[in-house]
Amino acid sequence: MSSPTPKLLKADLFKSSSENLTDDERIDLSNQRAYAVAKAYSELMLTEVGHGLDSRNLETTATLLPNGDFDIHTPNSNAAKFTPPSWPRKGFPRVALAFARLLVSGDDWGVKPSIVWLNDVFVAGKYKLRRQITRQNSKPVPIISLRTQQLPILHALAQIAVFEPFAQDSIQQFKRSNDIPVIQQIISFTFKAVLCQASQPRFHALSERCGAQGLSEYNQIIGSQLETCMISIAEGDISAMSIKIGTELLLNRYQPPAPMNPTCLLAQHEKGLFDESRSILKGLKGGHRHAEFNSLILPRCPALVEAIGHRRAYEAAAKAGVDSDLLALYEIHAVLLDPSWYIQHTDLTREYLFQKEARLLDTLLPRLDTLLDSTGAGLYCTAPILSLASWDAFVDRLETLEAVGMSEDKARL
């Protein structure tokens, strides 16, 4: 594809402009040129580190100077432009469309585009606690005040609280089943299935809620997500082992550890799924060797193994005395993984499930900072976005790329 640069240079729009233009005419000309550049190159610099999608409250300014030039100014580290398509490339001159607040004679003319030469300018939870957004009344509020930000963090904390005693309980049950390798497999893989089923979408949600920052390896979230993907495959692929274990349990060759309380919701769900699958299996003339076993039973096996795991996790956490609110949030999350079954087979309603989840989140939210610290993860976190100080220190260590021949007194982003 040929470069659009020669075409732009020949256009009347980019020829030298008259020195007698008014401020309004200069601004209009700048907007037209910015639009042309953006259409040609598609290099858009809108997002700022501290604002994300909150573009109405951008802090970068473009001040019209008496000589007709513009001073592009980034007042603090939160206002630094942050968008992958317009990152600089060493030795490769680039231009971009930078959005900034236009200041003319002290008046704020709102967010406008400007053409610039490019120069380099418990992780999710702590990041959300310090990150702010600005509402229509211009009052900044923590982004964690949004329920969409609270959901993945509080659910992750509930899972952490439950999985610790679940791990210890699995170890003890594994030791007690020393003479029965198949039962040891059931214990270990129901544990692994639940952890992988919980962690992979949770890491994805945490990464997404952190915006572009969540995709950077140095912030540790995306790396942890990839690691859990590898864990799900290593030492026994979850999908393959779920099919193996699920099939053997359906054929009554072995029995998983019995429920401590058969009447609890998760135990009812586990039994209901097995009864449902066994009923289908009985209708297959060739049993588990029938062709329809592949299409009707195998896809249900992962859910069967996970159902056992969720019930075992809940029991282990309850026995260990895990915080009742965290345990209840874990339970409601497990229920919401398969709400149709609970609505069909119990007296629970869809609205009741969501209302209960909302009440639990409201109860736990004031304790968020304490819950994050109680995980002990702070000792192992090196993500720059944990605090403003660590982010500033990280930015100071980055390599600065400069355009050839650019003087130090030029405005930089």
DSSP string, 307-357: HHHHHHHHHHHHHHT--HHHHHHHHHHHHHTSHHHHHHHSS--HHHHHHHH
10 Å Cβ neighbour count for 339?
Answer: 14
CA distance 103 to 105: 7
* 26 and 100, same domain (yes or no): yes
Q: Is the pLDDT of residue 97 over 70?
A: no
**Which of 15-29, 124-138, 236-250, 375-389 bottoms out in mean pLDDT, i.e. has the lowest?**
124-138
Tokens 């819950």 locate to 371
Q: Does residue 379 form part of some domain?
A: yes
Residue in this structure with the two tokens 């959901």, named with its chain if needed = 151
Reported as a single tens digit per residue, the pLDDT across 232-242 is: 776 667 888 88
Encode pLDDT of 225-234 as tens digits. 677 777 777 6
**Cβ(92)–Cβ(188) below 8 Å:** no
Q: Which residues contact 72 (CB under 8 A, 6 or more apart)?
A: 60, 61, 62, 98, 100, 114, 116, 411, 412, 413
Q: Quote the pLDDT of residue 291.
A: 78
pLDDT, the chain, mean: 76
Domain co-membership, 88 together with 150:
no
pLDDT of residue 266: 97
Q: Which pLDDT value is given to residue 17? A: 65
Same domain flag for 169 and 46: no
What's the rounded Cα separation, in Å, for the pair 26 and 66? 12
The mean pLDDT of 322-347, rounded to a whole number, is: 96
Average pLDDT of 254-261? Answer: 90
What pLDDT score does 140 carry? 67
| pLDDT at residue 75, rounded to an integer | 74
Predicted local distance difference test score (pLDDT) of residue 359: 96
- Give 263's contacts (C-beta < 8 A, 6+ positions apart): none
Q: How far is it, in rounded angstroms, from Cα 181 to Cα 159?
A: 28
Residues 243 and 322 placed together within one structural domain of the fold: yes
* pLDDT score for 380: 60
Segment among 170-184, 225-239, 346-360 with least mean pLDDT: 225-239
* CA dist., res. 128 & res. 53, Å (int): 14
pLDDT-derived band at 304, boundaries 50, 70, 90 = very high
The whole domain housing 29 covers 5-120
Tokens standing for 230? 């590898």
171 and 100 in a single domain? The answer is no
pLDDT value at residue 294? 83
Higher pLDDT among residues 297 and 113, named by residue? 297
Q: How confident is the model at residue 149 (pLDDT cuts 50, 70, 90)?
A: confident
Residues 259 and 311 in one domain: yes
Q: Residue 57: count other Cβ atoms within 10 Å of its Cβ.
A: 17
The pLDDT score that the predictor gives to residue 120 is: 30
Look at the chain and report how many structural domains it folds into.
2
